[in-house]
């Protein structure tokens, strides 16, 4: 949102604070063992969701960043990154709760687990139990992969 745009960093403000708590619940810390990036590198006008063409412009950069970081597991927070990274038209409620595979054009692949976006959870706290199940899936997969 606007605060992220001003600071040039993803997940600042209340959503970022909730994300930090979510990561801590599965023994992760964004400064120590998590890397966070966006799938779109600018805020679209009116804070609308990015158009497919805008995501396509950013895709090679996102893929290269993923290849350089080489994560054991990719967590896609929200519908926009999940749909973009998986080239899917399904919404987050269909994509979450299961593991997918993200593959780059350069040949890197990693498990991808879609989760509900922290900003969504701030608006709909009744869905936090779904988010917790997703986080447990992330924690389990990281444990299996030694991450």
Give the integer Cα–Cα distance in Å for 45 and 53: 14
Backbone angles phi, psi at 109, to 5 degrees: -140, 150
Report pLDDT digits (tens) over 78-123: 999 999 999 999 999 999 999 999 999 999 999 999 999 999 999 9
Per-residue pLDDT band for 142 (boundaries 50, 70, 90) equals very high
Specify the CATH number of the domain 2-145: 3.40.470.10
pLDDT at 10 over 90: no
Report pLDDT digits (tens) over 46-87: 889 999 999 999 999 999 999 999 999 999 999 999 999 999
Q: Give 5's contacts (C-beta < 8 A, 6+ positions apart).
A: 42, 43
List the chain domain ranges: 2-145
Helices (H), the chain: 2-7, 13-25, 52-69, 79-86, 92-95, 118-123, 128-145
| Lowest-pLDDT range of 7-11, 12-16, 30-34, 95-99 | 7-11
Quick count: other Cβ atoms within 10 Å of Cβ 131?
22
pTM of the complete model = 0.93
Per-residue pLDDT band for 43 (boundaries 50, 70, 90) equals confident
Asked if residues 133 and 113 have their Cβ atoms less than 8 Å apart, the reply is: no
Cβ-based burial of 95 (10 A; exposed 0-12, middle 13-18, buried ≥19) = buried
DSSP 44: P
């Amino acid at each position: 949102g606007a605060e992220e745009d001003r600071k040039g960093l993803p997940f600042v403000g209340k959503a970022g604070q909730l994300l930090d708590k979510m990561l801590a619940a599965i023994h992760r810390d964004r400064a120590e063992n998590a890397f966070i990036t966006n799938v779109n590198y600018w805020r679209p006008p009116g804070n609308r969701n990015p158009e497919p063409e805008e995501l396509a412009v950013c895709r090679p950069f996102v893929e290269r960043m993923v290849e350089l970081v080489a994560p054991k597991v990719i967590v896609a927070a929200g519908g926009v990154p999940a749909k973009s990274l998986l080239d899917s038209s399904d919404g987050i409620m269909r994509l979450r709760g299961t593991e997918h595979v993200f593959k780059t054009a350069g040949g890197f692949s990693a498990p991808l687990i879609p989760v509900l976006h922290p900003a969504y959870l701030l608006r709909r706290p009744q869905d936090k139990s779904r988010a917790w199940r997703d986080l447990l899936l992330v924690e389990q997969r990281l444990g299996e992969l030694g991450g």
